[in-house]
Structure 1
Amino acid sequence: MPKSNSDLTGSLLERRYRLDTVIEPRTTSTVYRGVDVRLDRAIAVEVLDTTLPPDPAFVAEFERGARSAARLRHPAVVAVHDQCVDGDHVFLVTEFVDGGTLRGLLAERGKLAPAIALSVVGPVLSALGAAHHAGLAHGEVRPENVLIGKGGKVRLAGFGTLRPRAAAPAGGDRAYASPERVGGGVRDARGDVYSVGIVLYEMLTGGVPGRGAGGVPHPVPAVPSIAGVPLALDNLVRRATRSDPALRPADAAVFLAELERVGVELGLQPQPVPEPGTPPEQDRTIVMRPVPAAPRENTSSAAERTTPVRKPPRPPRPRSKKVDPVEEKRRRQRRAALWTGAVVVPVLVAGSLWWWLGAGSRTSVPLVSGQSEANAMAQVRDASLSAQVVRVPSNDVPNGNVLRTEPGNGTELEKGSSITVYVSRGRPVVPFVNAGVDVEPVTKEIGDAGLKVVTDEAKNVFSETVPAGKVIGLEPRPGTPLQIGAPVTLVLSKGPAPKKPVPNVAGMTKDEALAELRRNGLQGVEAPAEFSPAVEPGRVIRTDPVPGTMLGPDQTTVSLVVATAVTVPEVRGKPVKDARAELQALGLQVTVASPNGEDVVCAAQSVEPGQRVPPATMITITGA
C-alpha cells in the first residue's frame, strides 16, 4: 500500500510498481526510479505530490495526455508504459533511461561546443517533430527532460507530464517557456520551438538569457546575440526565440530542417554527445585567455646593490660657554629643515593617497576597432573593464571584427566599468519569415537587420490561404545578403481572387460561345458532341460547369458540349440509287426495299423529311 505522506520511497503502487529511490523532486511531483515487479524491469515513475490531490477534470486530462503520449513511437522519445490512479496518488510510468540529464552535463561543463550542442538538439527536434505531426505538444522542454543515456544517446522525456495543459510555468521552468505560455496560453508547437531555442542558447552560453528579481528566470523580449558563435547559428537561435510566435519556425520539423541547413553551411559534423560524469578532454576545447605579464622583479646584481656607509662620528667638541656664530647658524638650519619635513611629508602622503584612490583606480578604453572579437575582448579585460557585445550589420567590416566602442577609445573610466563593443555581423541578410504574419513584426525584423521595408502594389498577389493584408513573401528572397539600407519588398496577400461566373452560352454557335468565354476571362474547350433533337447542330447544348458557377483564379476552363444531329432530307420521287447516296453522304445508314431494283423511283422513306436524328441512324427507303 502507498504511504500517505509525500515520500513514497519503498511503496508499491497498484500492487505492481515499486518505488526505490528519488531521481528528481519537481515543483508539483516527484520522479522515482522503480521496478515493475510483474515484468521485472526498471522503470521511472512520476507521482503527483500527495499534498495536491487532483480534481476529476485534471485526472481526465492527465489520462487523455498519457494515452496520446503512449501512442507516440520514436527512437528519441522516452516511452510511456502506464498511467494510474491509486487512491490519492496519480502517477505516470515511463521507460527508465540509465544515464544522466542535459542539466547534469551543463553543470559539469558550463557550456558545450556548437557541434555537440547541435548533436543534442537534433534528436530532441526529431522527437518533437513526430509529436507535432501527431497533434501532440510537449510544453515542458528543458534540460531536466533531455536524457543522455549510455553511448551518448539523447532521449526526450516529459510527454504526458503531470501538469495541466493550461497551467502557467512556475519557478525555473519560466526560463524555457514562451511568452504566450507564461501569459497563460496552452501548449503548442511554436511554444516547443521557443523552449528548444532557449535550451540551445543555454548550451552555447552556459546560462539562460534572462533573470528576473530574486534570480527567477523569465522570458526576455529579444534573446541577445551569442558572442563567439557563428552568425548563422546565432540568427537561428534568435529566430526560434522570437517573442511573436508567428516569426518562429512553424514546428519542430521546420526548425530541424533549418538547423541541419545551418550545420551543413558551417561544416559542423555530428559529434558523440558526452555522458554526464565523463571527463571532458575529448569533447571540449579550452580557450586560453591572454596572460598578463608578471610584474618586473629587481634584477640588479650583487655588485650593484650597495649599502650606505655611515660617516664616523665627529669627536665631541669641548663645551664652551661662548656662543659660536657658525654653530648657531647650523642649529637654525636644522630647525628649519625639521619644520619643512613636518609640512612636506603629510603633503606627499596625501598626494600618494590621492593617486591610489583617483588616478590609480582609473583606466582607458583600449583601441580595438578593426580587431577580431576575441582579441578585442582580451584587451578590454587587460584594461580592467567588462564589455557587452552588440552585433550590428556592416557593409565593409568583416563578420566578427570590431566596429567601435562606446565610450570611444582613450576615454578614461573607473576600473571595473562596462563598455559596449559593437561587432560586425557582416552585410545584412534578408530574414526568414512565415507566410501569414502581420506586417508590423516583419517590418521590425527587416529594420533590425539593417534593411529598409518597401511595398509595391503591383507585386501583391491573390491567395486562397493567406488573409488579405498579411505578408506572403519577401523580395529579394530570404537569405539574400544586401547593402545596409537596401530595400526589401513586402509581398502582401490580396486575399482570394475575385471569382468569375460562367456565362450562359447555350444556343450559340461554337465560335460565338468561345468568344463570349474569352471576354469573361475564361477559356473554352470542346467536349465530345451530343445529340439533341431540340438544338440545331453546331450550337451549344450546355457547359460544364453550368452557367452561374463562380470560378476561382485557378479555374479558367469551361467545357462546351455542342449539338450534333442530321436533318433527314426529302428523297421520295428520286431514283432509289440517288436517294441512297444522298442519305449516306449525311452520315446515315440506308436500307433499300425495292423488288424491282434501284432503277425505280423512291416511293417511301422510314423517317419523315425535316426530322433531326443522331448520326448513323438507319433509314429505310422503298422503291415503286
Structure 2
Amino acid sequence: MDTTLGDPLVGHVLDSRYRVEARIAVGGMATVYRAVDTRLDRVLALKVMHPGLAADEAFVERFIREAKSVARLDHPNVVGVFDQGTDGVYVYLAMEYVAGCTLRDVLRERGALQPRAALDIAEPVLAALGAAHLAGLVHRDMKPENVLIGDDGRVKVADFGLVRAVDTNTTTNSGSVLGTVSYLAPEQLEHGTADTRADVYACGVVLYEMLTGAKPHTGSTPAQVLYRHLHEDVPPPSGAVPGLAAELDALVAAATARDPRLRPADAIALLGLVRGVRESLSDEQLDVVPPRAAADGRDEEPGPDHAGSEDRTSVIPRTSAAPPARGDDGDQLNHTTRLEHVPAPPPPPVPPGAAPRAGRPRPRRGLIAVLAAVLLVLAGTGVWYINSGQFTKVPAVLDMTREKAEQELRGAGLGVKVKEEVSDTIERGHVISTDPGPGGRIRNTGKVTIVLSKGPARAEVPNVVGMPFAAAKRKIEGAGLTVGEVGRQFSGETPQNSVLATDPRPGVERRPGTAVALTVSKGEALDVPDVSGLSIGDATSALEGRGLKVKVADDPVFSDKEKGAVAGQSPAKGEQAAKGDTVTITVSKGKEMVEVPDVTGRSEADAKRALTAAGFAVKVDRPFLFPRDSVEGQSVKGGDKAPKGDTITIRLKGGL
C-alpha cells in the first residue's frame, strides 16, 4: 500500500524551492520526506514538523536549534543540515539524504547481530555523539531509528531534534519530559534532567538491543517500561544470547548503570571502553552467531540468514529492502514523545510471605557482569590492577589525561612510554589507546605505551594571494591541503596567472586534505577585433598586434566571403579575451555552387518551391498584359550551377 496517498505535501514545492517526492518516515514530532532542491538540483531529506506543533513556540525554537547545532558539528558521522525555514504552517529542516536504511530496519529484519557488527556500528555512533558532547551538546533521543546505515556502509546519527546544551535540563515549562520511552535514562524520568551520560545510557540500551535483538525492558504500556528503567538494571546480554563474552556484559552494564555517576562520563569515554573491549576479544568471541530472532520478540517471516556469512571486511549488515514509511515500526514505545513529568509509580504489591525484591532475579552470571562493569567504571577514576604471579593486568586508562594515566600505571607498578597521534574524537592530551590494551597481561615492572591525542588534525590555509598559480599550488599542498576548483577572472592589477583570492580565506583552519578553491587572474581584459573578410595574413597581424594568438581551423567553410578570406572567428568581435588567449579563425571556401533545377513549364508556386528547396532566392517577372501561370524561362538554365543563396529570376508566359 502506498503510504504517501493523501499526504498533502507529496508533489508540493515547499518554500518555492523544495519539491517533495515521497514520504520516508513518520515520527512523534515530525515527518521526513525525500525531496529535490530545485535550485541546486540535488536530492535531500526534508524534516517537516507536524502542523499541530507549529503553534508551540517551544517546539519551533527546538527545531531551529537543531539546525544551528548540527550545522556547526561538521562530523562525517552526523547527518548534515543544509537549511531551515517556514512555509505557512510548515516548519522544516533541509538535511543530507542518506540512501540506505536505519538500524531499526536492520534489527527488524536480522534480529540480534554478531558482536563484531554491533561494535562496528557502535563506534561511529559514539564518535558522532562524542563530537556533539565536545561541542557542549547532548542528543537526548538516541535510538535505532536515529542511526542511519548508508548503502555504502557509512553510519550516521540523525535527528538532533531534542538536542540541548549540556547544562540545561530536559523539561519544558509545563513539566513534561521529551524523549523515547525505551531509551530514557532513569534520571530523565525521575528528575527531568539529562547530560551526556543520558546519551551514554541510551547507547547502552541500543548496544544491548543489537547484541540480543530485543529491548532490555518491555511492557504493554509506557508506564510499565518507565517503572522498569527506574527500578531494574539492564540484564546482561549473555542471558539472552549464550556464548557472548563477559566483557560485553560488563560494557552494557557500565553504560546502563542506573546511577549516572557510575557510567562513563560521555560518549568519548564510552568509545574508549568499546575499543578496549574489542581489543580484548578474540575472533571467536567477536563472531558469535546469535539465534535468529525478530526484534522486540515480534514474530515475523524469517528472511535470509546472513548471520553466519558476514565478511569481516564489511560486517555492518544491510537490509534487503526499505520498510514502508511509517512511524517507528508502529510501536508507541519507539516514538519520540512528550511525557508529563510525574513521580515514579509505586512498586507492585509483594505477595504474602514473599520477600520484597528490588527487581527480577538475576542469574549468577549477571552478578559477575555487574562486578565487571564496576571495575570498568572504576578504571577511569582509580587504580585497577590484578597481580597474577609475575604478570600484571594493564589498567584501563583510555581517555584519561597523561598525568592521570601515568599515575594509574605507575601505581600498578608499570613503566610508561608516551606517543602522540591526532584524533578527531579524543580530547587533546587524553589517552587514545594503550599497548598492551586494557586488561592485557604484561610482566611486572614492564612498560605500557600510551598514545596521547594531539587533538583533531588541522591545517591552516596559507596566504597565497598575489603568488603565481604554480607556486601557490605548492604552498597549499605543503600545508597539507589540496587545490580544488580554479576559477579565472579578469584583473588589471594582478598579473596574469597569479592568485586573486582563496576560499577558505587565508588563516582559516581546516582538516588536512580539504580542497581550497582558487580565483586566478586572467590579466587585463582585451577587446577582440573583427577580422571577418580579411586575408589570413592581415587577420593574423591584427590579432597578434593585440597580444592574442591565432589558430586557423583545419576545415574551410562555404561563406559569402571571398575564397581564402576569414569566414568567421571565435571569440567573436567585441568579446573579451586575456593577453595570450587564442582566437580561432575559419577560412572561406567561397560560395557553394549548387545545380539549378529546371522549372520551365511549371506553375509559379511549383517553381518557387523547387528553387527555394535548392537554396536559391526567387524573383518573378510577370508580363504586363495577360500573365499566365506557367514559367516560360529562367535567368540560369536548368542543370547549370549558381552560388547557393543567389537570386534566380523566373519569367511567366503572357498572352491570351
- TM (normalized to structure 1)? 0.44
> Which one has the bigger strand percentage?
2
Q: Which has the larger radius of gyration?
A: 1
